[in-house]
Amino acid sequence: MPTPRQVYVAVIGVGGVGKAFLSQLQALKTRLAKARQPICLDLILVSRSSKTLFSESFRPLSLETWEQDLAASKQPVLDNEMLVEYLATAPEKVVLVDNTSSLAIAENYPRFLRKGVSIVTPNKKGFSDSYNLWQDMFAAASNGSGEGGYLFHESTVGAGLPVLSTLKELVETGDEVTKIEGVFSGTMSFLFNSFMPVAGGGGQFSAEVKKAKELGYTEPDPRDDLNGLDVARKLTILARLAGLPIESPTSFPVQSLIPRELETCQSGDEFLEKLPNFDSDMEALKKEAASEGKVVRFVGSIDVASKKVEVGLQKFDASHPIAALKGSDNIINFYTKRYGSNPLIIQGAGAGGDVTAMGVTGDLIKVLNRL
Amino acid sequence: MPTPRQVYVAVIGVGGVGKAFLSQLQALKTRLAKARQPICLDLILVSRSSKTLFSESFRPLSLETWEQDLAASKQPVLDNEMLVEYLATAPEKVVLVDNTSSLAIAENYPRFLRKGVSIVTPNKKGFSDSYNLWQDMFAAASNGSGEGGYLFHESTVGAGLPVLSTLKELVETGDEVTKIEGVFSGTMSFLFNSFMPVAGGGGQFSAEVKKAKELGYTEPDPRDDLNGLDVARKLTILARLAGLPIESPTSFPVQSLIPRELETCQSGDEFLEKLPNFDSDMEALKKEAASEGKVVRFVGSIDVASKKVEVGLQKFDASHPIAALKGSDNIINFYTKRYGSNPLIIQGAGAGGDVTAMGVTGDLIKVLNRL
């Protein structure tokens, strides 16, 4: 058996996704070590906002006890500058796993990449910020036009669903993507599947928002879902991969479900308290859709030819796949020249720690296949 | 700009898929030549059963005029032995693209692979034949447990739909696939969507088979679709990737839609002539399903835990995604531990030259990323 190749893994962010990733990393390490052509995956750094644990000598940290070890760490917290320096001096290939949702870290991706560090991440911020940052990242990455590390971000759209890999393959094999349409937010999916089920019924809009919050389907402050920005960020990423130079997630029409009068609320609680005053607007919309045999859903769409990107409420026939979604599932329809009138459809859970981490682990495997 | 890496491509089989592939290859070559880190893709061999055109000196053949050049070729037809020898002597990496449906060629995959030749193919035969051949192939391949060429076969199931890549990623990232269920045949999809649409109606079974044949949705002899073997081959491949050592596509229950009394028909025409005598059986099934608010569909399913693989007719609620399929679309539902009760679903055209070739071109790109 040949000598195992060594690859170092540095993990920043150890919330729900980060923890699930570290557990998947441990399983992957075991599987790879048993393989005929083994790769030795070693954890060399793990950090949360207030704590860092790293191996000064690049000897592997424990994947069993990292949580206690991190809690007990007295090492200095590394800022981005120090992190770049530390990873750049590693004697073997390094993959940085960014499980945060920090733009500040993402702004440093080009520097990491230029130093040969590969990056896999579910962090949408960098990929949906300025088009300049997008260009800088892919100008540096080896799977862009550069010669640095590799860069993959499958979980930035649809979590572990194979959305970005499918879009990339359509483009790379020369298909012409004409339109992308779908439900890109687990929160919005759950909310509208409850507010207006195909079978009829459903509660007042404000009550469904409250229920979604209580069940953990929304951000701590539900306004962060209802403003549509999360979906706009995902659409920005998809549109850029489809070839449109979208400047930012605010450079196209995004419908916010926060009533104008409530935009000045001081807190999420105040917002939730006042939202019932606006239920009649949503109820009117529901009645109008029902009278046409349709349901209301919160969707994003990209018309590639006309370069039109939109996020907001739309009505769909009860028989449409977008209407028939269940729970908090996402659905993504790719309309292309090759696929004709029936789109290529990907559907399933688009949020959750395990499935999001799975997209990250899948990206790590893509990097390992290329290193 | 660095010197382009050279990769040779040899294409056997130039029917609908082969022609579409060669056209995509030409577009890919142009795109790669423009890339920052170029790969020079050169065609060195193209063949059909009765003709071979190859470059004795490994100078590239023309991607513009290959069709006329092949027709005019006076070169000897290379048998498998000679083909292995020829490709093994190439001075650069070689990818063999097998667009045939020949088992004889597939039986030689292990030899090609051991000589370092990579293979991409939509040919189901080898992957669904004996389990020994499957093991031999992946024992030789670098993306198996060997050190030879790479081996990809995305288009053997669902054509260009990302079915196998998704299943592989679920398995490689440590998810537990519990069940796979779906409609795996464009022909069967079209046939049953016409025979028993969710909205009601549909003609007699034999009339729908005739219509499907006239529209080009069936094999020249429709018995080759109705015997269920095509679906059984795809299920064999999926089950093996999910970890089940399925011996062959005839080692599990496969329902044939050819009435026992017509098994001895001498020709497809005789079969089509006599099939109306058996319409009452299918009509009874249709009535029974309708009385339960269901529709009949021809599906394949794999229960991983109980190792049960099945192909045949099943009834589905009108609201089930499998019931709601359109045209000749395929649908594949992956039930896994991470995805819980709502499956990960992939849906879209699962047949046709362009989309099948797209899966092959996508596989070629995977090889190029690894070479």
The region, left, alpha or beta by phi > 0 then psi within -120 to 50, assigned to residue B201 is left
Per-residue pLDDT of chain B (371 residues; tens, 9 = 90+): 456 789 999 999 999 999 999 999 999 998 888 776 678 899 999 999 889 999 999 999 999 999 999 999 999 899 999 999 999 999 999 999 999 999 999 999 999 999 999 999 999 999 999 999 999 999 999 999 899 999 999 999 999 999 999 999 999 999 999 999 999 999 999 999 999 999 888 999 999 999 998 888 888 889 999 999 999 999 999 999 999 999 999 999 999 999 999 999 999 999 999 999 999 999 999 999 999 999 999 999 999 999 999 999 999 998 888 998 988 999 999 999 999 999 999 999 998 899 999 999 999 999 999 98
Q: Nearest CB to B338: which of A37, A324, A355?
A: A355
pLDDT of B37: 66
Residue B153 contacts residue B236 (beta carbons within 8 Å): no
* CB pair distance less than 8 Å for A172 and B319: no
Residue of A31, A63, A164, A169 to mutate, interface with B, max B Cβ within 10 Å: A169
ipTM over 0.90: yes
**What Å distances lie between residue B255 and A84, A141, B100, B316, CA to CA?**
60, 51, 26, 17
Q: Report the run of H or E that residue A317 belongs to, with start and end.
A: strand A308-317
Interchain CB contacts (distance < 8 Å): A and B? 131
* CB pair distance less than 8 Å for B345 and A343: no
Distance between B216 CA and the closest CA of chain A, angstroms: 17
Residue of A nearest to B360 (CA): A173
In the predicted model, what is the mean pLDDT of residues A196-221?
Answer: 90
* CB pair distance less than 8 Å for B174 and A327: no
Kindly list the residues from chain B whose CB atom is less than 8 angstroms away from the CB atom of residue A339: 348-349, 355
Token pair in block for residue A11: 């993990």
Q: Nearest CB to A338: which of B37, B354, B369?
A: B354
Distance between B37 CA and the closest CA of chain A, angstroms: 7
* CB pair distance less than 8 Å for A347 and B347: yes
Q: Where are any strands of DSSP class E within A78-188?
A: 93-98, 118-120, 151-152, 177-183
Question: What whole-number distance in Å separates Cα of residue B347 and Cα of residue B325?
Answer: 9
Q: Report pLDDT digits (tens) over A288-346.
A: 999 999 999 999 999 999 999 999 999 999 888 899 898 899 999 999 999 999 999 99
SS3 sequence of chain B:
CCCCEEEEEEEECCCHHHHHHHHHHHHHHHHHHHCCCCEEEEEEEEEECCEEEECCCCCCCCCCCHHHHHHHCCCCCCCHHHHHHHHHCCCCEEEEEECCCCHHHHCCHHHHHHCCCEEECCCCCHHHCCHHHHHHHHHHCCCCCCCCCCEECHHHCCCCCCHHHHHHHHHHCCCCEEEEEEECCHHHHHHHHHHCCCCCCCCCHHHHHHHHHHCCCCCCCCHHHHCCHHHHHHHHHHHHHCCCCCCCCCCCCECCCCCHHHCCCCCHHHHHHHHHHHHHHHHHHHHHHHHCCEEEEEEEEEECCCCEEEEEEEEEECCCCCCCCCCCEEEEEEEECCCCCCCEEEEEECCCHHHHHHHHHHHHHHHHHHC
Of A118, A103, A115, residue with least CA distance to A153: A118
Token pair in block for residue A278: 């606006």
Q: Report pLDDT digits (tens) over A160-183.
A: 999 999 999 999 999 999 999 999
pLDDT of A189: 95
Residue of B nearest to A146 (CA): B36
* CB pair distance less than 8 Å for A161 and B326: no
Residue B260 burial (10 A CB sphere; 0-12, 13-18, 19+) = exposed
* CB pair distance less than 8 Å for B327 and A321: no
* CB pair distance less than 8 Å for B174 and A339: no
* B286 counts as catalytic: no
pLDDT of A37: 65
- HSE toward the beta carbon, residue A32, CA cutoff 13 A: 23
pLDDT of A38: 78
Q: Report pLDDT digits (tens) over A65-78.
A: 999 999 999 998 99
Residue A70 contacts residue B180 (beta carbons within 8 Å): no
Distance between B353 CA and the closest CA of chain A, angstroms: 9
Q: Report the run of H or E that residue A70 belongs to, with start and end.
A: helix A66-72
pLDDT at A27 over 70: yes
Residue A339 contacts residue B349 (beta carbons within 8 Å): yes
* CB pair distance less than 8 Å for A340 and B349: yes
pLDDT of A2: 58
At residue A40, the 3 state secondary structure works out as: strand
pLDDT of B38: 78
- Spell A234-259 as b/e; 16+ CB within 10 A means b: bbbbbbbbbebebebbeebebeebbb
Kindly list the residues from chain B whose CB atom is less than 8 angstroms away from the CB atom of residue A352: 338
A219 vs B303, which has greater pLDDT?
B303
Question: What whole-number distance in Å separates Cα of residue A35 and Cα of residue A139?
Answer: 34
* CB pair distance less than 8 Å for A348 and B342: yes
Distance between A100 CA and the closest CA of chain B, angstroms: 20
Mean pLDDT of chain A: 94
Of B173, B192, B172, residue with least CA distance to B182: B192
Distance between B346 CA and the closest CA of chain A, angstroms: 5
Residue of B nearest to A169 (CA): B362
Contact residues for A65 (Cβ-Cβ < 8 A; gap 6+) = none
pLDDT of A111: 96
At residue A122, the 3 state secondary structure works out as: coil
Q: Report pLDDT digits (tens) over A34-75.
A: 776 678 899 999 999 889 999 999 999 999 999 999 999 999
Kindly list the residues from chain A whose CB atom is less than 8 angstroms away from the CB atom of residue B36: 145-146
Q: What is the pTM of this model?
A: 0.95
Residue of A nearest to B29 (CA): A173
Catalytic entry in B29, B234, B286, B294: B234
Q: Alpha helix locations (H) across A198-299? A: 205-214, 223-226, 229-241, 268-274, 279-291
pLDDT at A1 over 60: no
Residue indicated by tokens 């592939």: B21
